[in-house]
């Protein structure tokens, strides 16, 4: 198995990121630094990174309900709650697929497979994420049509969305699905139309 694939399958990072680790001389094979991108790992090889022996584990996914006021990160210099404070210790080496911002909640997938993580995150693979959204006020039909057609805000083009309004009141509930997730995309769009998001919950990831 090619070295970068082995590193990715060990859950360290994607293949592309693994190439950088190899180039930087951070991968040790049988006690020697290896910078050979074409190296084929055999069953008898001992591959190390960061003073740890890498082993390929069966690819697995873990579904976690991320609460609000929690960061999707390994470390926060401000000492706020992070997902790893809430996850079982055996998942400390799992990586989140994508992320939910601090104030968002709902389904967050984690994996020990770098290749699987990259596949789910690449926009070209069009993996749908569905969200329940609560906004202040009632969304005008004209605004809904603009959002569904795709809007450009501050030079950033946001993709088309299919909105489903599930409850109309002082605060309205909607459902929307995206196949890519620009930073704070849903919040930015609704704020642009003067309907700030008061709650954002991811309810599904993929079909």
CATH of the domain at 66: 3.30.70.580
Same domain, 200 and 145: yes
Distance of alpha carbon 92 from alpha carbon 107, whole angstroms: 18
Q: What is the CATH number of the domain that holds 38?
A: 3.10.290.10
Which of 19, 36, 85, 101 is the catalytic position?
A: 101
- Residue 96 in contact with residue 83, Cβ under 8 Å? yes
Residue 153 has pLDDT above 90, yes or no: yes
Q: What is the CATH number of the domain that holds 180?
A: 3.30.2350.10
Domain count, the chain: 3
Q: What is the mean pLDDT of residues 110-115?
A: 87
Task: For residue range 55-99, list pLDDT tens digits in order.
Answer: 887 888 999 999 999 999 999 999 999 999 999 998 988 999 999
Predicted model pTM = 0.76
Same domain, 160 and 115: no
Determine which helix (DSSP H) or strand (DSSP E) holds 152, and give its type and residue range.
strand 152-153
**Number of neighbours of residue 86 by Cβ within 10 angstroms:** 13
Same domain, 117 and 132: no
101 is catalytic: yes
Same domain, 13 and 69: no
- Residue 129 in contact with residue 97, Cβ under 8 Å? no
So what's the pLDDT on residue 13? 84
Residue 165's domain comprises 128-205
């Amino acid at each position: 198995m090619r070295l970068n694939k082995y590193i990715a399958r060990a859950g360290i990072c994607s293949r592309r990121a693994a190439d950088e680790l190899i180039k930087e001389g951070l991968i040790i094979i049988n006690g020697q630094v290896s910078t050979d991108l074409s190296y084929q790992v055999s069953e008898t090889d001992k591959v190390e990174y960061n003073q740890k022996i890498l082993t390929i584990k069966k690819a697995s996914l873990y579904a976690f309900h991320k609460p609000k006021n929690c960061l999707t990160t390994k470390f926060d210099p401000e000492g706020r709650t992070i997902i790893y404070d809430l996850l079982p210790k055996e998942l400390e080496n799992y990586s989140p697929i994508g992320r939910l911002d601090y104030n968002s909640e709902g389904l967050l997938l984690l994996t020990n497979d770098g290749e699987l993580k990259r596949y789910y995150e690449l926009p070209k693979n069009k993996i749908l994420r569905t969200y329940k959204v609560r906004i202040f006020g009632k969304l005008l039909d004209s605004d809904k049509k603009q959002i569904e057609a795709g809007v450009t805000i501050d030079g950033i083009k946001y993709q088309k969305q299919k909105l489903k309004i599930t409850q109309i009141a002082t605060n309205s509930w909607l459902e929307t699905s995206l196949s890519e997730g620009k930073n704070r995309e849903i919040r930015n769009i609704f704020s642009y139309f003067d309907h700030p998001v008061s709650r954002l919950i991811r309810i599904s990831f993929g079909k």
